[in-house]
Structure 1
Amino acid sequence: MDVTARFLGGSGAVTGSKYLIDLGDFEFMVDCGLFQGRKELRDRNWDKFPTPVDELDCIILTHAHLDHIGYLPRLVKQGFRGPIYCTEASEELAKILLLDSGKLQEEEAEFARKKGYSRHEDPQPLYTIEDAEAVFPMLTPKPFDRAFSIHPGVDVTFFHAGHILGASIVKVVLKGESQTKKLVFSGDLGRYHDPLLFPPTRIPKGDIVWMESTYGDRNAPPTKPEEELARAIRDTFDRDGLVIIPAFAVGRTQLILYHLYQLMKKGKIPKVPIFLDSPMAIDTTKLYLDFHTDHRLSAMIEEEHEHAYKHPQLHYYQKREQSMSLNEFKGRAIIISASGMATGGRVLHHLFHHLPHEKNGVIIAGYQAEGTRGRRLLNGEPTVRIYGNEVPVKAKIYPIEGLSAHADQAELMDWAEGFCEKPKMVFIVHGEQLSAETLAQKLKDELDWNTIVPQYLESFVLFEGI
């Protein structure tokens, strides 16, 4: 059989990952992500799908971030009915994220309708909550490290990738009439020394490799985020202030909770109330308890009466009334709330009430895109607009580095060096053009790899007559 690959996303950009593999009598796709960021990318989500949906037999997911799963409701709405394979934790995480995405799509369409800024008379959501729910019956969970068949002669295995709970490296074995070939999809690779997640699994052999390049052109600063967190918190508490941490609900929140627990147990910060005020973050944190063998805290969770996600100082605030009550809280405390870039969500009313006071502190614990409130806070702007008001920024802003969930350039190279044999072809994907090209050149120079930076909708013949 001849084997071809087509790049329907995740090429020349970080988002929209979709890799179509055609075996002639069987087609499958690895990842089904939403395009995000620039308008020209987001517009692709509305385009007709570039290949016949009814010819697509199944989908394999590397992990549950929206840039890898967020297009699923749209594809199902267009008629896709095949199985969607993923790890067990990714199945549950996908349900949480897709429901939230459907809700946001509906809200954005309604807002555009009310404000009249859409070029359409009756703006519609890309998909709805109901469309998201239609995906759930197709999700087909599989365990890590155990091969399963998706078609006669096509086996798949999930290996730990780090990055977020349930994230996987995908190995696809094609058993042809005359030979066997291996395809390896890195997905998004995590950090090698992440305190929560296992390091990315080294794969000894792959004939064709898809390798992410999010940070292919840079290395993370040699910082100790736990110590930086402790200094920021102690400094704020010395002023009798309150700490607010805008945090991404998936991954970043759970890492911050771990660091805060460790700091309290070691006596590096005082034991004060920690309020986790984000329904999605709470639901995600519970998955860390349900799937505790999928991360490095299993011994802590199994053996300790209390742990990072259950201790007397930690309070889960699901209800809106609980969230609003924090506006009247007096004294030292830590509030963790979404969204991570302060673009929406409950964190806005916390910032609205606490930014104008010099005693308070705001910890910025992740990447802040240009134009977001988080970036404006980092830039030291004197006011930020919240709820239509210019809110004075008197609270002290503390940027914390070293909490990224992505492997940096050195760690990407470390993973690549795990291959015992040089792949025939390596596609550098999931990166902005500079990141992808920089990593591609480094792999060529240091490992003599045949690297290719594919473009959107480009096709390649992988094998002939296997």
Structure 2
Amino acid sequence: MKDDGAPRLGFLGATDSVTGSRYLIEHEGRRILVDCGLFQGYKKLRERNRAPLPVAPASVDAVVLTHAHLDHSGYIPALVKQGFRGPVHSTSGTADLCSLLLPDSGHLQEEEAETSRLRGSSRHASPQPLYTARDAVDSLAHFRPHAFREPLDLGGGIEAEFVPAGHILGAAQVRLTIRPGAGERPLTVHFTGDLGRNDDPLMNPPAPLEPARVLVTESTYGDRAHPQEDPAEALGEVVRRVAKRNGVVVIAAFAVGRAETLMLHLARLRRSNRIPDVPVYLNSPMAVDATDLYQKYPEEHRISEREFREMYALPCMVREADDSRLLNLRGGPMVIISASGMLTGGRVLHHLEAYGDDPRNAIILTGYQAGGTRGASLLGGATSLRIYGRDVPIRAEVVSIQSLSAHADADAILHWMGACPRRPEMVYVTHGEVNASDTLRRRIQHELGWRARVPEHLERVDLDEPR
């Protein structure tokens, strides 16, 4: 049975990790889930995807999504499969991207389960996906797209608004306004989602923070600043170096956002003759389709029509699985851009199997690597990776270009907060590894003088008296 009374906020995910974003708003018998993401990384976190949601999915009235990345949207098909029948509200860009990401996620889960079964690498005799591609397609019927800044009535005195966040296409900050009753002051809860960068080469900057009583902020880079290097030049140096030794550059990229940024940088490098004329392959059907979507929403990004044409002319777009397998036989010199960005799945794993053992080659990591992922292991100096039940030796050069990140770093988040004309009553610091969240908490307290803390997993707080 639903809880009535004072508005409450429950932290169902992203409280002790940088994945599994899920926040539950409860007020006057209504339940609104802000984000519905997958847990990724460490096994103990991934196992939460199989655990029952703390509330019955059928009791959730609506889902409001900040953006399409799977750590924010990837649990939706499972939620629907388990009985959720309400609407999923998002921006139009997020809805379009989820129509690509969610079925692909289901397909990859089916593929990985089948590969584990054939190789005997699972402790289960018949491993099953969390959901299938069909489940994901079925869940898309629940999506209700909205424009930025469009007022959205969620019922029960709860209203929502999507505010531009930068980061990727469609990404939004979410402002929820709860109206307790006649004569009572409205209560606004502001969720940053994943906050973009002011200097992102692809996306427009995030909108300024407007006053709110409660702020729920991400802290992905809460304990660090982005390097001051030019990401295009860093990328060009690797391509030039590896091409000279006839090697293969395997770039692990998030299919949405990062692949487009990489294509933009590579096209600019090619135009200025700063990289040799080696073949470039975009081996991700989802990234190919996502790139098309960026042309549908020109108001959200900074790419001109000319640069779009150059981006499209640069790579060979690989869709078919057979063509993907042929890349593993081709050899260098060449550049392959493939997902997933943290090496948690996807076609990039097959390229690591093919090219990871050769020191002439290079593996480029282009963004945040959550703890427990293969990408984090490589950053930590691992000389082999467990892929489909087999230990794959890694002798290729490993390069991390963190300046390619689409997240605001700690300094940018604090500057964004500090420009707000009125401080919130409380800031909840979430969506970061333990040290990142706690470091950002301390800086918010000491540099801004705001109340801030890191909530516990599954904690519920009273929004009338946030503590």
Q: Is the 8 A contact 1:223 1:401 kept in 2?
A: no
Distance in 2 separating the partners of 1:386 and 1:23: 45
Match 2:135 to one of 131, 154, 163: 131
Give the total of aligned pairs. Answer: 459
Q: CA deviation at 1:88?
A: 0.8
- 1:21-420 pair list within 5 angstroms: 21-114=25-118, 120=124, 122-151=126-155, 153-175=157-179, 176-178=181-183, 179-297=185-303, 300-301=304-305, 304=306, 307-311=309-313, 313-327=314-328, 329=330, 332-342=333-343, 344-355=345-356, 359-368=360-369, 374=375, 395-420=396-421
1:459 to 1:330, Cα distance in 2 relative to 1, 3 A: closer
Deviation per residue, 1:368-396 (Å, 9 max, x gap): 56676656665666666778887776654
Give the 3 Å change call, closer, same or farther, for CA 267–152 of structure 1 in structure 2: same
- Displacement of 1:52 in angstroms is 3.0
1:3 alignment partner in structure 2: 7
Deviation at 1:402, TM superposition (A): 0.8
Assess if the C-alpha contact under 8 Å between 2:41 and 2:371 holds in 1. no
Q: Distance in 1 between matches of 2:135 and 2:308?
A: 39
Letter in 2 for 1:415: W
Shift in Å at residue 323 of structure 1?
2.7
1:462 aligns with 2:466: no
Distance in 1 (alpha carbons) for counterparts of 2:120 and 2:242: 43
Contact 1:339–1:347 under 8 Å retained in 2: yes
Contact 2:41 2:372 in 1 (8 A): no
Local SS of the residue matching 1:124: coil
RMSD: 2.8
Alpha-carbon distance in structure 2 between the residues aligned to 1:47 and 1:381: 30
Q: Distance in 2 between matches of 1:246 and 1:375?
A: 12
Contact 1:12/1:432, CA 8 A, preserved across alignment = yes
Q: Letter of the aligned partner of 1:177 in structure 2?
A: A
**How far off its partner does 1:80 sit?**
0.9
* Structure 1 CA distance for aligned equivalents of residues 238 and 256 of structure 2: 23
SS in 1 for 2:402: coil
Q: Distance in 2 between matches of 1:359 and 1:119?
A: 36
What is the TM-score with the length of structure 2 in the denominator? 0.89
Rate the CA distance shift 1:446–1:239 in 2: closer, same or farther, 3 A: same
Structure 2: how far apart are the matches of 1:155 and 1:236?
53
Q: Rate the CA distance shift 1:111–1:389 in 2: closer, same or farther, 3 A.
A: closer
Deviations 1:11-63 (Å, cap 9, x if unpaired)?
Answer: 12222211111111322111111222222222222222211333321110001
Aligned-pair CA distance for 1:241: 4.1
Could you tell me which amino acid in structure 2 is paired with residue 238 of structure 1? K
The farther-off stretch of 208-217 and 347-356 is 347-356
Deviation (angstroms), 1:424 = 1.4
Alpha-carbon distance in 2 for matches of 1:398, 1:189:
25
Conserved 8 A contact 1:285-1:309: no
Aligned residue type for 1:422:
R
CA distance in 2, matches of 1:380, 1:434: 20
- 1:336 maps to a residue whose letter is I
Structure 1 spans left out of the alignment, 5+ residues: none
**Equivalent residue for 1:435?**
436
